Amino acid sequence: MEYTYYPGCSLEASAKSYDESVRFVFKALGQELVELEDWNCCGATYYMSTKETISLVISARNLALAEKYGRDIIAPCSACYTTLYKTNHILKNNPIMKAKVNQSLKKDNLEYNLSLNVRHPLEVLVNDIGTDTIASQAHISLDGLKIAQYYGCQIVRPDRGLDDKENPQMMDSLFEALGAVNIYFPVKVRCCGGMLMTTYSDVALELNKEILECAHENGSDLLVTTCPLCQINLEAYQGKINKKFKTDFHIPILFFTQVLGLALGGTPEDLGLKRNLIPFQLKEKSQESIR
Amino acid sequence: MTEGEQKLKIPGILGKKEKELRESFLQQVVNIPGGESIKKCIQCGACTGSCPVSYTMDVTPREVIALFRAREIESILSSRTIWICASCYACTIRCPQGVQVTDILYALKRLAIEQEIFPKRFPVHALSKSFIGFINRYGRSYEPGLILSYFLKTNPFKLLGMIPLFLRLFPKGRIGFLPKKIKGKKNFSRILKEAEILEMVVPVQEL
């Protein structure tokens, strides 16, 4: 199947490995991603919470550009996904806002007619392709790999009816099918603080410490996430957290597509593993082929 | 007392200001899908209990709803609450009455920004402003520029603290050299300009 791909700003810089691994995984599974031509920043929650109409217009420009192709649009970054999804939802339910947005878009001869579905790659992989199909195409077993499945906030909330919002299962079932062990991880949807790491770092460091602590105490080999902001908070600030709380965490933080890509036979280069600050590699025993 | 609070406490102006605030806010709230649900709040506190950062708030999410219904909007606007919310939506999904707490906090935040109710060099607003500046200029966000602009607006000395992180991320190819621009920049600006005008247009709706 073909999908319109919306990488978002983070995936071109700090989360480059997410972009690389998403592209690899979809290609390996025979799906085509077509990058949206001349996409712009979604505006994230920062725009949404400051200027309502403008934020919706900015986000809707992408939807209008994508609509021509009639394919579902997929956005890997949790913030992009939430913002585009929310814009679509608001415009579908609020005719006045839709009129305002389209009147603005007209200045660029664009119009959005509400026909798109905004989707996240995790959900596309699980629902369109299916965990059984993915598992049957995996070359490498993740046998015994202990994973902390961290979903963060914005992929399951606010409620979109795709997965349980308190105890989501999509990543759990995907990695279980690949042989991994999902550790007990009750903080799987707890907030990492997002941009509070910049504005109120004391609060954010505390939140991240709790997530790392839970992963550590339950014996995880690594933590996987779906969000660029969670990834950078948990990985790049781990040293600072160790210093502040006198802890000794050394937990690799990977995008779920990086680990999935390994199972599908990707090399560290394919999946941007060298961009991680805390190195991760599969142990010898789990590198044996399943078939 | 902050500058913003002083602005609101001037006798005589309060009445008019209060009315304006309330009308503007009510308008924003009814525009949120499910916004009218604020009336159904039973003050159970599930929002506060679910919030990962409520322990650092001066006014908890439950109290925000109560204050709103008691027509104490000023106390909400001058609180730390609307700025510390990390948009995690835990309150919204757990509310048994379907109150759209996060979106209501957004509406309050927009109102506080409109009324300029916050101290100078205020971190969250500075970050929003920096972020929005980059999008308006390039159509894309630019992480290093965002951080630079943010710290220059708040505390330039803290920039030094960011250098080690920069030095670790740069060799990994995780920091962009220059901001990327969209091609349709000219038309993008025209869209923004039109949207800015329409932002002011508030349709008449029955409250």
Across the interface, do A108 and B88 touch by the CB < 8 Å criterion? Answer: no
pLDDT of B10 higher than 70: no
pLDDT tier at B103 (50, 70, 90 boundaries)? confident
How far apart are the C-alpha atoms of A79 and A81, rounded to whole Å? 5
pLDDT of B14 higher than 60: no
Task: Pick the closest to residue A270 from A279, A258, A280, A281 (CA basis).
Answer: A258
How far apart are the C-alpha atoms of B59 and B53, rounded to whole Å? 11
Between A21 and B19, whose confidence is greater?
A21
Ordered structural domains, chain A, with CATH: 2-119 (1.20.1050.140), 131-287 (3.40.50.11810)
pLDDT of B71 higher than 80: no
DSSP H helices in B10-122: 13-31, 46-50, 61-69, 73-77, 81-84, 90-94, 101-114
How far apart are the C-alpha atoms of A22 and A29, rounded to whole Å? 11
Residue of A nearest to B132 (CA): A47
How far apart are the C-alpha atoms of A287 and B1, rounded to whole Å? 63
How far apart are the C-alpha atoms of A65 and A49, rounded to whole Å? 24
Residue of A nearest to B110 (CA): A50
Output the six-digit token pair for A165: 């919002």
> Residues 155 to 194 of A: which have CB under 8 A from any B CB?
157-159, 165-166, 189-191, 193-194
User: What's CA A44's distance to the chain center, in Å?
Assistant: 14
pLDDT tier at B110 (50, 70, 90 boundaries)? confident
The label of the residue with tokens 């026909």 reads: A115
Round the average pLDDT of chain B to a whole number and report it. Answer: 82
For residue B204, what pLDDT is reported? 54
pLDDT of B206 higher than 90: no
pLDDT of B3 higher than 70: no
Output the six-digit token pair for B32: 């949120």
The SS3 assignment for A269 reads coil
For residue B29, what pLDDT is reported? 66
Could you tell me whether strands A222-225 and A253-255 are parallel, antiparallel, or unpaired per DSSP bridges? Answer: parallel
pLDDT of B109 higher than 80: yes
B interface mutation test: which of A6, A42, A51 has the most B CBs within 10 A?
A: A51
- pLDDT in 10s for each residue of chain A, 291 residues: 999 999 999 999 999 999 999 999 999 999 999 999 999 999 987 777 778 899 999 999 999 999 999 999 999 999 999 999 999 999 999 999 999 999 999 999 999 999 999 999 999 999 999 999 999 999 899 999 999 999 999 888 887 888 999 999 999 999 999 999 999 999 999 999 998 999 899 999 999 999 999 999 999 999 999 999 999 999 999 999 999 999 999 999 999 999 999 999 999 999 999 999 999 998 765 444 443
B interface mutation test: which of A21, A38, A39, A54 has the most B CBs within 10 A?
A: A54
Across the interface, do B127 and A195 touch by the CB < 8 Å criterion? Answer: yes
Please give the backbone phi and psi of residue B11, each rounded to the nearest 5 degrees, phi first: -65, 145
Across the interface, do A38 and B196 touch by the CB < 8 Å criterion? Answer: no
The SS3 assignment for A181 reads strand
For residue A291, what pLDDT is reported? 39
For the segment B122-175, what is each residue's pLDDT rounded down to a tens digit?
Answer: 788 888 888 888 999 999 998 888 888 899 888 888 888 889 999 999 999 999
For the segment B77-102, what is each residue's pLDDT rounded down to a tens digit?
Answer: 888 898 899 889 999 999 999 998 99
> Which sign, positive or negative, has the C-alpha torsion A72, B89, A195, B173?
negative
Asked if residue B119 has a cis previous peptide bond (ω within 30° of 0), the answer is no
Residue A161: other Cβ atoms inside 10 A = 5
CB B90 within 8 A of CB A152: no
At the top level of CATH, which class does the domain B3-114 belong to? mainly alpha
> Residues 9 to 68 of A: which have CB under 8 A from any B CB?
9-10, 12-16, 38-41, 43-54, 57-58, 61
Provide the greatest CA pair distance for chain B. 60
Q: For residue B139, how many C-alpha atoms fall within 13 Å in the half-sphere facing its CB? A: 18
CB B13 within 8 A of CB A151: no
Task: Pick the closest to residue A233 from A280, A276, A193, A274 (CA basis).
Answer: A193
DSSP H helices in A52-155: 52-67, 78-93, 95-105, 121-124, 131-137
Chain B residues in contact with A12 by the CB 8 A cut-off are 176, 180
Determine contact: A107 vs chain B, CB below 8 A: yes
For residue A148, what pLDDT is reported? 98
Output the six-digit token pair for B156: 């330039």
* A48: nearest CB among B106, B188, B193: B106
In chain B, where does the domain assigned CATH 1.10.1060 lie? 3-114
Output the six-digit token pair for B112: 């506080």
B interface mutation test: which of A65, A89, A107 has the most B CBs within 10 A?
A: A107
Whether ipTM tops 0.90, in short, is no
Across the interface, do A54 and B169 touch by the CB < 8 Å criterion? Answer: no
The label of the residue with tokens 């009750």 reads: A186
